[in-house]
Structure 1
Amino acid sequence: MEDLLKVGVITTTHGVRGEVKVYPTTDDAERFLDLDYVMLDTGKEYRRLDIKNVRFFKNLAILKFDGIDNINDIEKYKGCSLWIPREEGQELGEDEYYIADLLGMNVVLEDGTEFGTLKDVMETGANDVYIINSKEHGEVLLPAIKECILNVDLESNTMTIHLMKGLI
């Protein structure tokens, strides 16, 4: 399991006083209102940034950080990810998982046959779609619905699936 959870990506600067526009990678963008800080992945290290102010514009969060008061101090971090420690993550409901915990999971069919590896999760309006690399079938897109996802076992890193007709 990951120690850090990704909550957003800096898309661009906002104004000249060091604010940034952040594309949220969390289900609830208003989550930023509850955070005191984020960890900026600079590519070399993680840098703690204390959040001074949060507001929203369309589908983006606009963040202001303590000690960053100039566009030049933050502009170089465009495209960088923002993370929080796992213990700061939101409580999950039944059958809810952090995407970071699902990636790389072994995927097996309901009869126990090895099917592939979970490569990515595509977030759509209706339901998530799991992208599975299968040696036999190549890339398979599987809707994350109860009819297809029979079991997720984080301890054994295994997902059991049912393939509906027409998926492969």
Structure 2
Amino acid sequence: MIEYFLIAKIISLEGDKGFLRITPYTDDPDRFKLLKNVFIDFWGEKKIFSLQTVVYKKGNIFLKFNGFDDRESTEIFIDKNIYVDEQNLIKLPNGHYFVHDIIGCIVLRNGLEFGIVVDVYSLASNDIFVIKKNDNAEILIPAVQQFIESIDIVNKTLVLKPGEDFYEEDEN
């Protein structure tokens, strides 16, 4: 089964030549000019569309699909999400991970299973891992070296640094 990854949302039409304005969900907006195809979900099924043109203008990104040359033919795309398959994901630098790779990681502390990563909050300063502990309580751990010893995406494990009282609930 093919996995798809959300990279943008189409928010409006631009002009009368079939251009669509998007909101990117990526730290690298230049990635769009490297894409040849994207996927859009119509009624639960991903359909492939070929990119003809990508335009960057005044802080906005505009896409044009092959065969869609006017406003009427592109109206169906408004409010649709844009996806790529795994083959077209950008390559991240060492030590950086996609959210979908982090979610589901078994969390280890002092060599024992502590919980599982169930969500990731992306904040301006750093990401926050939402960990569901073995007792079903959820805690938030900053995704910084002070708390994280290692992440192994292949084996789906995240190891917390030992000895941090931060992980324990206040009993008082």
What TM-score, normalized to structure 1? 0.80
Q: CA RMSD in A?
A: 2.8
Shift of 1:32: 0.6
CA contact (8 A) 1:142 1:148 kept: yes
Matched, 1:99 2:136: no
Map of 1:126 onto structure 2: 125
Map of 1:41 onto structure 2: 41
Map of 1:17 onto structure 2: 17
State how far apart, in whole Å, the 1-side matches of 2:108 and 2:140 are.
Answer: 14
Shift of 1:161: 2.1
Shift of 1:82: 1.5
Map of 2:50 onto structure 1: 50
**SS where residue 140 of structure 1 aligns?**
strand
Q: Deviations over 1:109-163 (max 9, x none)?
A: 2442322x32222222222222233454744222211122222222322222248
Q: Deviations over 1:65-91 (max 9, x none)?
A: 111123343333333322222222222
Larger Rg: 2
Distance 1:50 1:159, change over 3 A: same
**SS where residue 95 of structure 2 aligns?**
coil
Q: Where do 1:60-139 residues align within 5 Å?
A: 60-115=60-115, 117-134=116-133, 136=135, 138-139=137-138
State how far apart, in whole Å, the 2-side matches of 1:77 and 1:17 are.
Answer: 14
State how far apart, in whole Å, the 2-side matches of 1:2 and 1:101 are.
Answer: 15
Unaligned runs of at least 5 residues, structure 2? none
Distance 1:37 1:131, change over 3 A: same
State how far apart, in whole Å, the 1-side matches of 2:61 and 2:138 are.
Answer: 33
Map of 1:155 onto structure 2: 154
Question: Could you tell me the percent identity over the aligned residues?
Answer: 23
CA contact (8 A) 1:42 1:77 kept: no
State how far apart, in whole Å, the 2-side matches of 1:108 and 1:2 are.
Answer: 30
CA contact (8 A) 2:106 2:113 kept: no
Unaligned runs of at least 5 residues, structure 1? none
Shift of 1:57: 4.9
How many residue pairs get aligned? The number is 167
Distance 1:153 1:166, change over 3 A: closer
State how far apart, in whole Å, the 1-side matches of 2:11 and 2:161 are.
Answer: 38
State how far apart, in whole Å, the 1-side matches of 2:43 and 2:161 are.
Answer: 39
